[in-house]
Amino acid sequence: MRIQTTRFGEVEVHDDHIIQFKDGMIGFPQLKEYVLVESPSMPLVLWLQAVGDSDIAFPVVEPWFFRRDYKTPMTDADRISLQYTETDRLKTFTVLTIPDDMTKMTVNLRAPVVININKSTGTQVVLQDKTLDIRTPAHEAFNKAMSNFFLTQTVEKPEQSHDAWVAVDYKGTERSATGA
C-alpha cells in the first residue's frame, strides 16, 4: 500500500509494517494505524507516521538516551491494548518535540510509546511516576547520542538525496526508496 506523508512524500508500506493502536495516540484517538519511518537527515530518530493522515507524525527516540534507568511499568489495560504475552518482545520509544530552535528540544518521558513487535500493536502508556517530566530537555543528551552514533559507524553509507526515506520494519529489516 502507498501512503502520502507531509515529511517523506509518498511511502510504500507493507501491511505487516502497520502498527495497530487500539486507542490511538494521546490527542489523536481516531488514528489507529501507524508506521515507523526513518529520515536519513536525523539518524536515531524514527517518525511514527499516521497511515490515515499525512500531516500527523511523531518523532520518537529510545528513552535510554535521556535516562539510563528508564522503565515502563504497564497496567493490565496497557497489556490488553498490546495483546501482550510473556513471550512477546516490546520496544519502547519516547516522543520528541523538535522546535525551530533545536536547543529547546524536549522529550516526553511520562508518556512513552510501547510497541509489541510480535503482534504489530502499540499503545501510548501514561506513567504515574512524578519524577518523569513531559518536557525533559533533550538537546544535550541527543547531541551526545548523535556524536556516539557517528563515531560507531564503520561502514560508509552511499550518498542519498535529502528526500530519500527508509521505511523501517521494527522487526529488524529496512527498505529504501526515494520520496516523491
- Nearest one of 16, 134, 23, 19 to 78, comparing CA atoms: 23
Outline where the chain has alpha helix (H): 76-82, 139-152
Indicate the SS3 state at residue 78: helix
Q: Which of 57-71, 111-125, 132-146 has the highest mean pLDDT?
A: 111-125
Q: Are 51 and 43 in contact (CB under 8 A)?
A: no
Residue 76: alpha-carbon gap to chain centroid: 23
pLDDT of 83-116, one tens digit each? 999 999 999 999 999 889 988 999 999 999 999 9
Indicate the SS3 state at residue 77: helix
Query: How large is the average pLDDT for residues 26-31?
Result: 96
Q: Which three cell numbers stand for residue 48?
A: 511514527
Q: Is the pLDDT of residue 174 over 80?
A: no
Report all structural domains of the chain as residue ranges with CATH numbers, in order of start.
2-152+164-178 (2.30.290.10)
Query: Which range among 26-30, 91-95, 171-175 shows the weakest confidence by mean pLDDT?
Result: 171-175
Query: How large is the average pLDDT for residues 55-79?
Result: 92
pTM here is 0.79
* The pLDDT of residue 140: 77
Q: Is the pLDDT of residue 29 over 60?
A: yes
**What is the Cα–Cα distance from 69 to 60, expressed in whole angstroms?**
18
